[in-house]
Chain A
Amino acid sequence: MSVIDLFQWSRKQKFERAITPFLTVLYQRAYRLTLSKDDAEDLVQELLANTYSKKIELDEIKSLQTWLLRSLYYLFVDTWRKSKRTPVDQSDWLDEQTHTDILNHDPLEKASSHESLDRLQQALEELTREYRVVIVLHDMEGHTLTHISREIDVPLGTLKSRLHRARKQLREILTEVEPFSEQFRVNP
């Protein structure tokens, strides 16, 4: 191994050591944004490749997790192009233990919760990425708007109205997808 190789190896090792603790949280966020295992991996890979190529000094970043999540947000919203490698894998939604938790959570949803998740996924994919982000961070991950505002550097007022519009649009899409769906029909 030449000195140059050693230098590159050393830098790569240092980069990987700094990033590895945050891989899980990056993947989880990426999955919720993309709703696909392949696309989530693709998004994380692109984020890390971009970060590495820019030679950013990770040591000097105060909160690396927040910084990485914010970078992931900008990448997802601004430049990332959805992978064409594979269609969305519906089985991602069905083969996990957590899915059983959903089935057990609300007896009313047992009968067709696979369908409801599938339908919800389709509706989420129709949202603009800005809308999807606020739904993911607030409604799926449970962060407060104040936290989200800090994390992605968007004013609180903007986020509030964005969340309101995103939810409204999501409900409308779901109604359009299946206007007579029993899943979303709630008897008085």
Chain B
Amino acid sequence: MNCNDTHNHIDAFIDEALGEAEMAGIQEHLISCTACRTQYQYASRIGNLLRHIPVPKPDAGFEKRAFSRLNTSSSKQNWIPASLGGAIAALFIMWLTIFHEPISAPTGSIADVSIELQENQSKHIQLVFNSPDHYKEAEFIIEIPEHLEVVGFEGKSLRWKTALKKGANRLTLPLIARGRVKQDLIAKLVNGKQVKTFKIKINVYGSSTVRRTLYIPGLV
């Protein structure tokens, strides 16, 4: 080993990342070469300092402050739970589009539609309600059947009052099936004494290809 070899391999020597013969060769050179030994000791000392740089504890209340910037504001359409909206671009989406008749139409149940989910894989389902008018306070109810979850929500029923604007009103539901779902997912829209019920059949597959778009125009 000469000075050039030692210079090129000094870091690997410190890390003991060389073969036995190379380690021995550099060690022998360091004994006889003052300049290289100085370089080695200098590099070793920096390494030693780096390993012992202290990490001070964070100030009290760090855990609380760490989560202080989580956004909990509402999404653009105030009737959509904020935690459900906005992630459409980031994740695979299954679209379920439903046009419904004016909410003032006779109360009744809506014909079945079905969607497909892969077990244990979340999918976004988007319901689009085309309202003919503005309604100040409609009530929306989601009933979640057994083995189906709305991601991030542990309950089995969601219920809230909201305004409906004229035109398209979107509700995005991130769903995940934990097994075979026997009952329908129920979505109800209530305006006074009138109720519109949407029954959504959930077909759960193990690993088959999922249909990407389900478009149901003019469903009544």
Contacts and interface: CB of A to CB of B under 8 A. Distances in A.
Contacts of A116: 49
A37 interface: yes
A54 B87 contact: yes
A105 to B, nearest CB: 6
Interface residues of A, number: 61
B21 interface: no
Contacts of A135: 50
B54 A98 contact: yes
Contacts of B56: 31, 37, 92-93, 95-96
A60 interface: yes
Interface string B51-63: 1111111110011
B58 A27 contact: yes
B43 A96 contact: no
Contacts of A96: 54-57
A170 B49 CA distance: 12
Interface in B30-51: 34, 37-38, 41-43, 45-51
Contacts, number: 148
B103 interface: no
Given A4-B160, A7-B153, A20 B38 contact: no
B151 A57 contact: yes
B42 A184 contact: yes
B193 to A, nearest CB: 21
B151 to A, nearest CB: 6
B210 to A, nearest CB: 16
A140 B53 contact: yes
Given A23-B62, A102-B54, A188-B38, A10 B46 contact: no
B90 A54 contact: yes
Nearest to A101: B52
A109 B50 CA distance: 13
10 contacts: A10-B154, A15-B67, A40-B58, A41-B62, A49-B69, A98-B54, A99-B54, A106-B48, A120-B50, A170-B46
